Amino acid sequence: MFEIERRALMKGAALSALTFTAGGAKFLLSPRQARAQNIAFKTLTPEQVETLEAIGETLVPGSKEAGVSHFVDQQLSVPPGEALLEARILNVRPPYANFYRAALGAVDKASKAHNSDRGIAQLKDDERSAFVDLMRHNKIVGWQGPAGPFVYLVLRSDAVDVVYGTMEGYAALGIPYMPHIAPLKRW
């Protein structure tokens, strides 16, 4: 009685890869594939991408290659009602781009202020870790932007999503994914 018809199931599956645009054409890709294909960013600036990838990689190793910046960028380009970002369920008010601009700007400014004008991408691994640790404890003097612990939570969640929340991520950990309706392209 309530079995899903195959046609309906395929409709659901088709919704589950992200739409990226390149050369005027639209492609269904995972963020990892979008990064590998060097798909242009729509919303984030090159500086914001650099900051997001650096802090993402510090928070969750593997997130840069898994396409955290393409994931966030693509998500900021869709209406809030279609967004998949954890910010959505953490009560961030749309448009979500406002939060990311403020958060990434705060990270960049604070890093430069405390590290001889070097952004987080220019810091050594141990310096990045120390910076993130201070940020999550809200102990960065002169921090300007959304609260440091909240920025930590949101960006860590994005990075966790692309590394551990995908079918690939489950497979890498050895956890059976067991979907009812599988996301397309293991994303």
Partner 1 sequence: MANEKTDVVIVGAGASGTLYASVLAKAGKKVVLLESGPDWQLSDLISSDFWGRRVKPAGIPFLLEGKNPYGYAYQAGWGVGGAALHYFANFPRYMPNDFKVKSEHSRGLDWPISYADIAPYYDKVAAEIGVSGDAKAEEIWRPKGEPYPMPPMKTFRNGDVWKKGCEAIGIRMVPAAVGMNSTEFKGRPACIYDGWCHVGCPIGALANPQVTYLADARKAGAEVRALSTVTRVLTNQAGNKVTGVEYYDAKKEKQVQEARVVVLAAWSAQNPRLMMISATDKHPKGLANSSGLLGKYMMAHYASGTWALFDDDVENHMGTVGAQYMSYDRYDKTSKKDAFGSTFIVAGTALKTSDLGGFANARLDLFGPKLTDFMKRAKRGITRLTAFGEEMPNVENRIELTDGKDEFGMPLAKIVHSFDQDAVALWNANFQEGLTIAKETGAKEFWSARGNQPTIHLFGGTIMGAGAGDSIANSYGQTHEIGNLWIAGPGLFPTEGASNPTFTIFAVSQRGAEQLVSEWSAIAG
Judged by beta carbon, residue 2 or residue 142, the one nearer partner 1 is 2
138 binds partner 1 (CB under 8 A): no
Site string for partner 1, 56-95 (x = CB under 8 A): --xxxxx-----------------xxxxxxx-xxxx-xx-
12 binds partner 1 (CB under 8 A): yes
User: In the window 144-173, what residues touch partner 1 (CB under 8 A)?
Assistant: 152-153, 156-157, 160-161, 164-165, 169-170, 173
- Minimum CB distance to partner 1, residue 142 (Å): 22
Judged by beta carbon, residue 15 or residue 28, the one nearer partner 1 is 15
Which three-class secondary structure state does DSSP give residue 21?
strand
**What residues have CB less than 8 Å from 167, skipping those under 6 apart?**
177, 179, 182, 183, 186, 187
- Minimum CB distance to partner 1, residue 24 (Å): 27
**What residues have CB less than 8 Å from 133, skipping those under 6 apart?**
none
Measured CA to CA, the distance from residue 109 to residue 143 in angstroms comes to: 8
Judged by beta carbon, residue 11 or residue 45, the one nearer partner 1 is 11
| Count of residues interacting with partner 1 (CB under 8 A) | 54
30 CA to centre of own chain: 12
Measured CA to CA, the distance from residue 174 to residue 85 in angstroms comes to: 25
Q: Can you spell out the DSSP letters for 104-124?
A: HHHHHHHHHHHTTT--GGGS-
22 binds partner 1 (CB under 8 A): no
Q: Report the run of H or E that residue 167 belongs to, with start and end.
A: helix 167-173
136 binds partner 1 (CB under 8 A): yes
Helix axis angle, 96-114 relative to 46-59, nearest 10°? Answer: 80
- Minimum CB distance to partner 1, residue 107 (Å): 14
Q: What is the contact surface with partner 1 in residues (CB under 8 A)?
A: 1-5, 8-9, 11-13, 15-16, 58-62, 80-86, 88-91, 93-94, 129, 132, 136, 152-153, 156-157, 160-161, 164-165, 169-170, 173-183
